[in-house]
Structure 1
Amino acid sequence: MVVFIDMDEVIADTYGAHIEIYNREHRASLDPVQCLGKEVWHMVPEAHRDTVRNHARRRGFFKDLNPLPHSQEVIKELAGVHEVYIASAAMQFPNSLEEKSEWLDRHLPFIPWQNRILCGHKHILKGDVLIDDRSYNLKHFNGRGILFSSPHNAHTNGFERARDWLEVRQLLL
């Protein structure tokens, strides 16, 4: 099978990074559980919303993200039996191209550069499976779409869902 895997909020913990930066910079105690069904910027005072929305435009934001639990080991297993591509909508944040490439070199060195797609719209992808946290990417994918759970999509329905990487393993291996 050809399997496409999104990066942000699927492999790399951008949601957690937004909360961590916000809490540090504003001496707040926002918790992901408080944010279920919402974007982080929806959950902060109006005066801080643009700041949170612009975290991803900062140099270094994507470089130091934490990998989500079990993502590295399961993706390595998937790559052993399937043709795996990392597909990330990196064009939205141009500085992310280099940082995401470096992140992949560090955390998923077994995925060669030829299997990394840093793109805009994902509806152009042609394959068997797309694992993504955004339903709009899955809606127009012609294969099997798996919605990867993230606090922001807690109330999204209508898609096959994987709550974590251990569930991805069960679904695809």
Structure 2
Amino acid sequence: MTLFVDMDEVLADTYQAHIDIYNSEFGETLTREECFGKEVWQCVPQERQQSIRQHARTYGFFRDLGIVDQSQEVLEQLNQKYEVYVASAAMQFPNSLEEKSVWLDDHFPFIPWQRRILCGDKHILKGDILIDDRSYNLKNFSGRSILFTSPHNMNTNGFERANTWLEIADKLL
């Protein structure tokens, strides 16, 4: 069986990176909890929103992301049972291509480059399971769709949901 796993907000904690950079840049104390149901840029004054929107265009942003808890251990186990691919919409931020690949080398070396799909639109994916934090990537997927919880999708309904990687393990192992 083929399992596609998104990178941002599923393996790599881009959401927290946006908050940390914002707090450092503006001397603020924004928290994840304050952002539930929204994108980080929606939680700050309008005159600061563009700064957050530029984070992902900054060299180094994708290189230094934190790892979502338990993702390494569970994905390594899933890799023994499924044909696992990391599928990330990287074309929106072209400098992310190299950084995402290096990040995966460092943190998920058991997923070889041949099983990394850095694409523009995930509608091309055809397989058995897709784990993603964005409902628009899941809605047209023909296989089983699992919405991985992130602060921005707290109010999204209509999909099978997993809040943690331990829940993913319970569902798929």
Fold match by TM threshold 0.5:
yes
TM-score by length of 2: 0.99
Query: Which residue in the other structure is 1:41 paired with?
Result: 41
Query: Which residue in the other structure is 1:67 paired with?
Result: 67
Could you tell me how far apart the structure 1 residues matched to 2:143 and 2:122 are?
Answer: 12
Report how far residue 66 of structure 1 moved: 0.6
Pairs aligned (count): 173
TM-score by length of 1: 0.99
Aligned ranges 1:138-149 → 2 under 5 Å: 138-149=138-149
Residue segments in structure 1 that go unaligned for 5+ positions in a row: none
Query: Which residue in the other structure is 1:131 paired with?
Result: 131
In structure 1, what residue type is equivalent to 2:93? F
Query: Which residue in the other structure is 1:103 paired with?
Result: 103
Could you tell me how far apart the structure 2 residues matched to 1:146 and 1:54 are?
Answer: 29
Query: Which residue in the other structure is 1:58 paired with?
Result: 58
Report how far residue 118 of structure 1 moved: 0.2
Could you tell me how far apart the structure 1 residues matched to 2:50 and 2:78 are?
Answer: 38
Report how far residue 150 of structure 1 moved: 0.1
SS at match of 1:123: helix
Structure 1 runs, 4 residues or longer, greater than 2 Å off: none
Could you tell me how far apart the structure 1 residues matched to 2:53 and 2:167 are?
Answer: 30
In structure 2, what residue type is equivalent to 1:89? A
SS at match of 1:91: coil
RMSD: 0.4
Could you tell me how far apart the structure 1 residues matched to 2:115 and 2:19 are?
Answer: 30
Report how far residue 132 of structure 1 moved: 0.2
In structure 1, what residue type is equivalent to 2:47? A
SS at match of 1:65: coil
Between the two proteins, what is the percent identity of the paired residues? 65
Aligned ranges 1:109-120 → 2 under 5 Å: 109-120=109-120
Report how far residue 137 of structure 1 moved: 0.2
Query: Which residue in the other structure is 1:14 paired with?
Result: 14
In structure 2, what residue type is equivalent to 1:145? S
Is 1:3 aligned to residue 26 of structure 2? no
Residue segments in structure 2 that go unaligned for 5+ positions in a row: none
Could you tell me how far apart the structure 1 residues matched to 2:120 and 2:73 are?
Answer: 27
In structure 2, what residue type is equivalent to 1:98? E
Report how far residue 27 of structure 1 moved: 0.3
Query: Which residue in the other structure is 2:86 paired with?
Result: 86
Could you tell me how far apart the structure 2 residues matched to 1:46 and 1:155 are?
Answer: 22
Report how far residue 157 of structure 1 moved: 0.2
Report how far residue 43 of structure 1 moved: 0.2
